[in-house]
Chains A and B, each alone.
Chain A
Amino acid sequence: MAAVLELNKVCMDFGGLRALDEVSLRVEPSQIVALIGPNGAGKTTLFNCVTGIYDPTSGDVLLNAPGGESRRVNGLKPNKVTELGMARTFQNIRLFPSMTVLENVMVGCHCRMHASILGAVVKGPGARAEERRVVDFSYELLRLVGLTRWVNEISSNLPYGAQRRLEIARAMATEPYLVLLDEPAAGMNPQETDDLKELIVRIRDTWSKSILLIEHDMSLVMGISDRIYVMEYGRLIAEGSPKEVSENPAVIKAYLGEDLDA
């Protein structure tokens, strides 16, 4: 089966700085793929290249819908990429702070809705039904991430872990087949991390989505990833199963530094 997301030798230059150097990466359908590496390795830059916030200097980013349609997404606008079926969360939470929890998720449904200005004003049966469907769907998603008791709460009033989960629900609302999670466990306590782990696995198994995630929490990464890519200074230095990666000398070197006796 074709990979859902395929990066071929993607480079990204900022002036003279090469932030990504010929990065190639594949996410297979219904896989959890983790991207790890020390701070500043270029992981978030890679996310931004894939989601259309940056336009890669060279290389291809290919998005292959499970149905078969394949698209090169370099240089597409972020909203186009989302429409094609890739959603993301952000490293520093970017919710819509003064909107309610449910509304945050409903915004995610935007690109799957069709109500026009006139339709919204007249609010005929079609628009009403769509609106109701979106409310119900959003509610379902909130149930998935366990936020139903805060449905009508203003999102900035939520505890930190809940905000992270809300971001995931909002991303899911765009009905993606590939979800990009940028450090979903950052700032969570061990209990919350465990819940998150379970949630991510559930997204893969029951909703059969593919997931690409950046994470520093090794227990999470090693526990749930099907495949791990390791980056350092904008380059991929290793890839493989969690076991392979954790035994890879280059990875150990990148994380722990050079062995003195060697």
Chain B
Amino acid sequence: MLGIKRSLLVSIWFMFLTFPLLVIRVNTVENTVDWRFMNMLYVGVGSFFLSFVWRYLMERRARGGGRSGGQGAGSVMQRVLGEKRIFYPIAAVVALAALSFPLFSDAYQTNVMISTLLYVMLGLGLNIVVGLAGLLDLGYVAFYAVGAYAYALLNQHFGLGFWTVLPLGGLLGAVCGVLLGFPVLRLRGDYLAIVTLGFGEIIRLVLENWGDFTHGPSGIANIPRPGLFGMDLSIHDAAIYIYYIVFGMVLVTIFVVNRLKNSRIGRAWLALKEDEIACQAMGIDKAKTKLTAFALGSTWAGFAGVIFAAKTTFINPACFTFLESALILSIVVLGGMGSITGVIVGALVIVVLPESLRDFPQFRMLLFGAILVLMMIFRPQGFISTERKKYEYHGAADETPAEGE
């Protein structure tokens, strides 16, 4: 009974809220006002039922809360991913599907997939900084821009090819990462976020205003696509080729990040994220650890930037706005901070979802935002939360737990 009353209130409230937007329409041609009361009815009925769903979810959350999160669907996913026998075949199937993807799809789909994979790379790179080392970086797109402009400019002025610039772009990204890292070593949390946000904007503004060097807002056009032994590729073939390049890079990224995650450095990053003072007391050099995180994270952004420039063949500062940083960050947060699989899933959702919502153009961003909000309420740890590696003991004697228990 109480539930119905509450839902009624909710639906009345929603009808009131959406009244000016959905009910009143001013017809400026005939100077009349249309009253679309059917819309009001839809909103009322819809919100009435949705409020039941909402309450059910909230109750479930309250019951499942407290423990480390993973109840229901999440923990099933966790178990599937934790089990090697299940995980490896799934990964293999996904990899195969990804490999054969461009053969069965048109140019548009291939291009969407290329940007998805680029975002996977960017997400994994930012994951090092945010997910592993816990340094909230809101200006990540700056390093992406550095990579992209590195390719565009080096190509334009010195005629360097894609494959030469790819490592250079990564290197430049790393250098910029360290440059940004130095002044912000002492900062953490919100302050760090603000400074990195500023850094991202600075890079963009420099690109926009330093016309002689960067061609300003008009950008750089006619960036060559990557060459394949001097062959002339049609646009579609070139897209397929780039797809495979990105795919290869993503595999390399996954491999590297996975290795780093469970290494001495990965543990140092995690320790730094969890407790800075204890981390230092364990003999970990805070400055060095932070700088490596920044450098490695931005290396991948540099790589991704070079590929991005080669893919679009045209870049301008508008490609590297704060929105882009926010998007990459939401990939990491949505997917699950620190989790590689999570970031991949997150990138798929973030890139493919807005694309597939193109059929409802007016509501596209609205729905996107709503999904993000819902995510944060019901699964703040992301789709897939990190699992820590389990170690086995290799020593000789393995008698059972000792004294003092």
Interface residues of A (CB under 8 A from B): 51, 53, 77-79, 82-83, 87-88, 90, 94-100, 102-103, 106-108, 110-113, 115, 117, 120-121, 123, 127, 131-132, 135-136, 139-140, 143-149, 151-152, 154, 165, 170-171, 173-174, 195, 198-199
Contacts and interface: CB of A to CB of B under 8 A. Distances in A.
Interface in B262-310: 263-268, 270-271, 274-275, 277-286, 292, 296
Contacts of A149: 401, 405
Q: Which 5 A-B pairs have the closest CB atoms?
A: A111-B283, A120-B263, A82-B283, A146-B404, A94-B278
A82 B280 CA distance: 8
Nearest to A196: B404
B278 A103 contact: no
Given A79-B285, A117-B265, A146-B404, A152 B390 contact: yes
A110 B283 contact: yes
A13 B404 CA distance: 41
B284 A154 contact: no
9 contacts: A77-B285, A79-B280, A94-B278, A96-B279, A117-B265, A117-B296, A120-B264, A120-B266, A151-B391
B167 to A, nearest CB: 14
Interface of B: 68, 255-256, 259-260, 263-268, 270-271, 274-275, 277-286, 292, 296, 386, 388-395, 400-405
Contacts of A77: 280, 285-286
Nearest to A97: B274
Nearest to B403: A146
A63 to B, nearest CB: 14
Nearest to A109: B264
Contacts of B388: 98-100, 103, 152, 154
Nearest to A88: B281
Nearest to B399: A143
Contact of B256 (A96, A113, A121): A121
Contacts of B282: 79, 82, 87, 107-108, 110-111, 170, 173-174
B281 A115 contact: no
Contacts of A146: 401-405
Contacts of B283: 79, 82-83, 108, 110-112, 174
Contacts of A82: 280-283
A148 B282 CA distance: 21
A117 B268 contact: no
Given A96-B279, A136-B394, A146-B405, 15 more contacts: A79-B284, A83-B283, A103-B391, A107-B271, A112-B283, A113-B264, A121-B260, A132-B394, A139-B395, A143-B401, A146-B402, A146-B404, A148-B402, A149-B401, A198-B404
A112 B266 CA distance: 15
Contact of B401 (A97, A140, A148): A148
A195 B390 CA distance: 28
Contacts of B275: 94-97
Nearest to B404: A146
B393 A115 contact: no
Contacts of B263: 115, 120, 123, 127, 131
A132 to B, nearest CB: 6
Contact of B393 (A103, A107, A139): A139
A135 B391 contact: yes
Nearest to A102: B391
Nearest to A82: B283
Contacts of B393: 135-136, 139, 151
B281 A78 contact: yes
B278 A195 contact: no
A75 to B, nearest CB: 14
A171 B278 CA distance: 10
A143 B267 CA distance: 21
A49 to B, nearest CB: 14
A140 B391 contact: no
Contacts of B256: 121
B274 A96 contact: yes
Contacts of B271: 96, 99, 107, 110
A140 B277 contact: no
A78 B275 CA distance: 14
A88 B263 CA distance: 24
A154 B68 contact: yes
A127 B260 CA distance: 12
A197 B42 CA distance: 71
B278 A90 contact: yes
Given A82-B283, A115-B264, A98 B405 contact: no
A77 B255 CA distance: 34
B185 to A, nearest CB: 12
B173 to A, nearest CB: 15
A78 B292 contact: no
